[in-house]
Chain A
Amino acid sequence: MLRNFLTVAVRNLRRNGGTTAINIFGLAVSLAVVLLVLLFVREQWRIDRFHSASDRIHRVTTLRMNDGAHFATAPTPLPTALRESAPGIDAATAVDQYGDTFVVRGDTSLGVEAMKVDASFWQVFDGFQLRAGSRERLLAQPHTAVVTLEMARRLFGTDNPVGRTFLHEGETEYTVTGVLAPPDGPTHVGGDVFLSLTDASSAGGDADAWGDVYSQWTYVRLAEGTSASDLEATAGILFERGAQPEDASDYQLSVQSLATLRFGPRLWNEIAGRLTLSGWTFWFIGGLAAVLLIAAGFNYVSLSVAQSLRRAREVGVRKTLGAQQSQLVGQFLGEAIVTALSASVVATMLLGGFVPLFNNLYLLDLLEIPPLDLNLLLDPAVIGLIALTGVVVGLLAGAYPAFVLSSYRPAQTLRAQGDSSRGGGSQRLRSALIAVQVAVTLFLVVTATTMLRQTWHMATADHQLRTDRVASVALQDVPYDTFRDAVDDLPSVQDVAAINNLMLGPSSYDTRYLRSSLVETPIKTVSFAVDTSFVAHMGLTLRASVSNWDRAYVQGDGVLLNQAAVEKLGFDSPSAALGAEITEDRSETSGVGRTVVGVVDNFEYTGTGEVYGGGLADPEGPMMLYANARHYKYALVRAGSDDLAVLRGDLKDAWTERFDTLHPFEFRYYDDIVRMRYGPLQDVAYLTGGVGLLTILIAALGLLSLATYQVQTRTKEIGVRKALGASVTDVVVHLSWPFAVLLVGTALVTTPIAWVVNHGWLQWMPDAVDVEGGIVVLCVGAVVGVCLVTIGMQTVRAARLDPATTLRDE
């Protein structure tokens, strides 16, 4: 029986080559996207699963009660306290992410990603295997280190690294006691170098240390039978007992399993890039994939139902010969599964093209997500996943047609050839499916266009901050003056300025509280340490200033304010603020005196966080510039020409030759920093647009096939109409009319929805474009146009046929 099903399935698919190709292509495209998402999700799912009992690994986190901020870190003494006094715990470890740093061996300085961990780390994360060294008391001694195999090779070549030493940041000597084999899967607690964290253990009884909830991450492996809530209760008790009363009421500890770490909401101070994807990311990309799959599934349903007239006779014959409905359902589902599995094969090939495109996404780079590896496709589990997806999609797409087709009654289907009594209901269904496809397409196209316009607007926005031809160099241990003097004369360098935090990029700011005699409450102000040349160098407009403001700024207590700060501090005008004494402090009490020496126009400095609604600074809020050479962390260098590569080369040479530093040269184009603002939205726009184009393609192919089918079933009618005197135009209009009404109707319903939704999300952007009516109409016109042309191609061809031929064919 199965053989018979398969034979018929394959022969039927082959016989309807065009429809089969459309079905397979549509399903393949959408399956490829679904598979891409599944691979991505699978990679996320695999994070830290290679440890034994990974479901028992939990992280203790901290909730800040006053603003509900949820931090991934926990009080510093907690791991030791848990180890010493908590029941039901196999191991507890403290992790301190060092992040990007560097190690020195002889003359070589290597940039590395470092973690500081205590000796219990290897019990909690026991899936890490050693290539050399012993697990016994690994990292229990101060100044010991574990390095990855690759790092060992880079540092020590082919020598046995165990017992050898390197200098961390050129200062502290560490002895290598272990070499880590490449882990068996992705991990969120990885790094090139693991340094011993031994000083934390002494802090157990120190109440102030319990108040430090932002420095270290605490991971716990629970014993069997202990629940996360047990751990949460124990940690809470330990915290209350150890911390100062005000800390104990300010913070509350909470517990996260590895599972919620992988797909849960993103916490503040998350430990590493691999966990920075919050749940909504998966919903978004999963949603796009689902939309495509549904579009392709609709084609399958629509085309299968359209063919039902022809298949009805077969159903009648089979039922007459004794087939049960269930057997016919099986047969039609089988055909759907064969189609979907063929599509899976094509999808796998398409995936080969999609993966590199996906890996090119700026977001992955920004969030330090490792690229997807195409070799994954050779993994038996992945092959199984692909096949399973094919079967599931086949079942879903084939279910409705299978039940419709198999329910035909033999006496009706065999009574007359070409009986179209079944057409009414399925015609309505097909129309509804087309309407939904077109609506989704319209929505995606309008949304992607709006996103791209917003991206373009952000990319070309004038922030009143001149960042063109500017690059930043991290000063590290090189004093700014030394750096400036060394590079100022380079031919490729036009100007140099200094700053402590990069504006427009990552949202990191210092905040101060300013008070004037004119207002009662201090105002919260973002402050940047910049040198005097910053003002001219970055194109700020000095609205008012005292004479020789730059001298007062550098030597004394002078500060520059923006206009927002001037207003908030109660001054009537920029000039009224000049020379005014104000007080500045990090807290709301006490402070140091400052003098306003100048006022600059408001300009944009806030970073990515504010663009996407998660930042801490008010983009139009008060800001202060002050001078402090010890605070400068970056030199901002403007190139004399557009060739920034030359600038980079010159600066790098100067860095290695002129400065006595072991720090690696860190150089970034300012355009790359600014790109962080619009890059993610650009990616979302590309993804939405790409899916939008694919849905147009799938919808158009579906329409083409339906139009072909409709024309075939109406050749007699066309012939009769022409014989009675209808012109080609009359026939084309007559045949296209229902499609046109459907398309225009769908557009009329969808366009306002698309407008409202896009208008809605734009409200979240600080500097948003409008949803332009003209552009929306253009998008809608383009989609409807593509569909009408598709239908027109078929109807014109049919209308041109000689009636004698069509009537004879009948």
Chain B
Amino acid sequence: MIQTENLKKVYRTDEVETLALNGVHVEIDAGEFVSVMGPSGCGKSTLLNVLGLLDTPSEGRYAFDGQEVGDHSERQRAKLRKGNIGFVFQSFNLIDELTVYENVELPPLYLDIPSAERDERVEAALDRVQIAHRRDHFPQQLSGGQQQRVAVARAVVANPKLILADEPTGNLDSTNGAQVMELLSDLNEAGTTIVMVTHSPADAEYSARTIHLFDGKVVSENFIEQEYAAHPGA
């Protein structure tokens, strides 16, 4: 599903040039659950942004779902992203002015899904993360764990092929963190590909493979054989 070759990302300001990704080769198959780890500033989030088509690489190749996307325009990337990729962020990134239901409703809205089907999907997504009883609440009225569950519901509501999670438990206590990881794990078991950036070795254990980044390069990959074996098609 994801193939990158010699992926580089350079951030430039007037005086400083920062090499965030320095020749990353990654291959992730459909149905995999992959963690990306590494110290702060090693390029984890940048890699996730490039993989999620939120940002463009400065150099190198990136193929998503068999399609070369490295030189796609913003409009093309937005179109591809829509419905194919779901996001979960450390800071939840729910829109404060919208209720739980309305936040989850956004992706199908942007996909122009008719209202009856949209309603069904939103209800199903809310049920799946067990937050349906809070559907009319605003984000500020929820706990961190609840907010992240809403974010997960929003990420899955459009049935994306890939979910990108950027430190999804970073702002949660261990109980809530574990709940969110269970959710992601369940989603992966149901067939969704997940790429997760994390600092937590415990969270990384939920994934079948962990990519270690350092200074913008992949330094090692660990497989959890048992998990990997459970998904031979990956």
Q: Does A324 contact B (CB under 8 A)?
A: yes
Bound Cα distance A22, B98 (Å): 24
Q: Given A322-B110, A324-B75, A324-B78, are A411 and B97 also a contact pair (CB < 8 Å)?
A: no
Bound Cα distance A324, B110 (Å): 8
Q: Does A697 contact B (CB under 8 A)?
A: no
Q: Does B54 contact A (CB under 8 A)?
A: yes
B155 to A, closest residue via Cβ? A321
A12 to B, closest residue via Cβ? B97
Chain A residues, CB < 8 A from B89: 414
Q: Does A630 contact B (CB under 8 A)?
A: no
Q: Given A4-B109, A7-B102, are A317 and B55 also a contact pair (CB < 8 Å)?
A: no
Q: Given A8-B98, A12-B97, are A322 and B78 also a contact pair (CB < 8 Å)?
A: yes
Q: Does A428 contact B (CB under 8 A)?
A: no
Give per-residue flags for B78-105: 1 if the beta carbon is below 8 A from chain A beta carbons, else 0: 1001110001010101111110001001
Chain A residues, CB < 8 A from B49: 411, 415
Chain A residues, CB < 8 A from B149: none
A7 near B98: Cβ-Cβ < 8 Å: yes
B97 near A11: Cβ-Cβ < 8 Å: yes
Q: Does A314 contact B (CB under 8 A)?
A: yes
A-B contact pairs, 14 of them (CB 8 A): A4-B98, A4-B105, A7-B97, A11-B97, A12-B97, A318-B110, A320-B87, A321-B154, A322-B106, A322-B110, A322-B158, A323-B78, A409-B54, A414-B89
Q: Does B38 contact A (CB under 8 A)?
A: no
Q: Given A322-B78, A411-B49, are A417 and B55 also a contact pair (CB < 8 Å)?
A: no
Q: Does A330 contact B (CB under 8 A)?
A: no
A411 near B55: Cβ-Cβ < 8 Å: yes
Q: State how many angstroms separate the Cβ of B150 from the closest Cβ of chain A.
A: 12
Q: Does B45 contact A (CB under 8 A)?
A: yes
Report the interface size class on chain A: 20 to 34
A316 near B93: Cβ-Cβ < 8 Å: yes
B45 to A, closest residue via Cβ? A415
Q: Which parts of A5-28 form the interface with B (CB within 8 Å)?
A: 7-8, 11-12, 15
A8 near B93: Cβ-Cβ < 8 Å: no
Q: Does A327 contact B (CB under 8 A)?
A: yes
Bound Cα distance A21, B82 (Å): 37
Chain A interface residues toward B at CB < 8 A: 1, 4, 7-8, 11-12, 15, 313-314, 316-325, 327, 409-411, 414-415, 417
B54 near A321: Cβ-Cβ < 8 Å: no
B106 near A321: Cβ-Cβ < 8 Å: yes
B105 near A319: Cβ-Cβ < 8 Å: no
Bound Cα distance A7, B54 (Å): 27
Bound Cα distance A83, B74 (Å): 71
Bound Cα distance A151, B49 (Å): 83
B55 near A409: Cβ-Cβ < 8 Å: yes
A4 near B102: Cβ-Cβ < 8 Å: yes
Chain B residues, CB < 8 A from A319: 54, 78
Chain B residues, CB < 8 A from A325: 74-75
Bound Cα distance A402, B22 (Å): 36
Q: Does B111 contact A (CB under 8 A)?
A: yes
Q: Does B31 contact A (CB under 8 A)?
A: no
Bound Cα distance A325, B74 (Å): 10
A320 near B54: Cβ-Cβ < 8 Å: yes
Q: Which parts of B31-66 form the interface with A (CB within 8 Å)?
A: 45, 49, 52, 54-55
Bound Cα distance A280, B31 (Å): 74
Question: In this complex, which of A4, A314, A322, A323 has the most chain B Cβ atoms within 10 angstroms of its Cβ?
Answer: A322
Chain B residues, CB < 8 A from A414: 54, 89, 93
Chain A residues, CB < 8 A from B82: 321-322
Q: Given A411-B54, A414-B54, A415-B45, are A8 and B95 also a contact pair (CB < 8 Å)?
A: yes
B97 near A8: Cβ-Cβ < 8 Å: yes
B138 to A, closest residue via Cβ? A11
Q: State how many angstroms separate the Cβ of A554 from the closest Cβ of chain B.
A: 89
Chain A residues, CB < 8 A from B109: 1, 4
Bound Cα distance A12, B138 (Å): 13
A326 to B, closest residue via Cβ? B75
Chain B residues, CB < 8 A from A313: 93
Q: Given A12-B97, A411-B49, are A318 and B106 also a contact pair (CB < 8 Å)?
A: yes
A317 near B95: Cβ-Cβ < 8 Å: yes
Q: Does B107 contact A (CB under 8 A)?
A: yes
Chain A residues, CB < 8 A from B75: 324-325
Chain A residues, CB < 8 A from B98: 4, 7-8, 11
B49 to A, closest residue via Cβ? A411
A417 near B91: Cβ-Cβ < 8 Å: yes
Chain B residues, CB < 8 A from A4: 98, 102, 105-106, 109
Question: In this complex, which of A314, A321, A417 has the most chain B Cβ atoms within 10 angstroms of its Cβ?
Answer: A321
A318 near B95: Cβ-Cβ < 8 Å: yes
A314 to B, closest residue via Cβ? B95
Chain B residues, CB < 8 A from A410: 54
Q: Which parts of B105-139 form the interface with A (CB within 8 Å)?
A: 105-107, 109-111
Bound Cα distance A12, B81 (Å): 27
Q: Given A7-B98, A8-B95, are A322 and B83 also a contact pair (CB < 8 Å)?
A: yes
Bound Cα distance A321, B102 (Å): 13
Chain A residues, CB < 8 A from B83: 322
A11 to B, closest residue via Cβ? B97
Bound Cα distance A7, B96 (Å): 12
Enumerate the 10 nearest inter-chain pairs by beta-carbon distance, A residue then B residue, closest first: A322-B82, A322-B110, A411-B55, A11-B97, A411-B54, A411-B49, A317-B93, A410-B54, A321-B106, A321-B107
Given A314-B97, A409-B54, A411-B55, 19 more A-B residue pairs with CB atoms under 8 Å apart are A4-B105, A4-B106, A11-B98, A15-B97, A317-B93, A318-B110, A319-B78, A320-B93, A321-B87, A321-B110, A322-B158, A323-B78, A323-B106, A323-B110, A324-B78, A325-B74, A325-B75, A414-B89, A415-B49
Bound Cα distance A319, B93 (Å): 12
Bound Cα distance A5, B87 (Å): 22
Give per-residue flags for B138-157: 1 if the beta carbon is below 8 A from chain A beta carbons, else 0: 00000000000000001000
Chain A residues, CB < 8 A from B154: 321
Chain B residues, CB < 8 A from A1: 109
Chain A residues, CB < 8 A from B102: 4, 7
Chain A residues, CB < 8 A from B93: 313, 316-317, 320, 414
Q: State how many angstroms separate the Cβ of A403 from the closest Cβ of chain B.
A: 14
B78 to A, closest residue via Cβ? A324
A316 to B, closest residue via Cβ? B93
Bound Cα distance A4, B82 (Å): 18
Bound Cα distance A323, B74 (Å): 11
B93 to A, closest residue via Cβ? A317
Select which of B74, B81, B91, B105 is within 8 A of A322 by beta carbon.
Answer: B81
Chain A residues, CB < 8 A from B78: 319, 322-324
Chain A residues, CB < 8 A from B91: 417
Bound Cα distance A620, B160 (Å): 90
Q: State how many angstroms separate the Cβ of A293 from the closest Cβ of chain B.
A: 28
Bound Cα distance A315, B37 (Å): 28
Chain B residues, CB < 8 A from A15: 96-97
Bound Cα distance A545, B230 (Å): 129
Question: In this complex, which of A320, A324, A325, A327 has the most chain B Cβ atoms within 10 angstroms of its Cβ?
Answer: A320
Q: State how many angstroms separate the Cβ of A2 from the closest Cβ of chain B.
A: 10
Q: State how many angstroms separate the Cβ of A409 from the closest Cβ of chain B.
A: 7
Q: Which parts of B160-185 form the interface with A (CB within 8 Å)?
A: none
Chain A residues, CB < 8 A from B87: 320-321
Bound Cα distance A325, B109 (Å): 15
Bound Cα distance A323, B81 (Å): 10
Q: State how many angstroms separate the Cβ of B119 from the closest Cβ of chain A.
A: 13
Bound Cα distance A122, B49 (Å): 78
Chain A residues, CB < 8 A from B95: 8, 314, 317-318
Bound Cα distance A414, B95 (Å): 13
Chain A residues, CB < 8 A from B74: 325, 409
Q: State how many angstroms separate the Cβ of B165 from the closest Cβ of chain A.
A: 13
Chain B residues, CB < 8 A from A7: 97-98, 102
Q: State how many angstroms separate the Cβ of B78 from the closest Cβ of chain A.
A: 6
Bound Cα distance A64, B110 (Å): 70
Question: In this complex, which of B49, B75, B97, B105 has the most chain A Cβ atoms within 10 angstroms of its Cβ?
Answer: B97
Chain B residues, CB < 8 A from A411: 49, 54-55
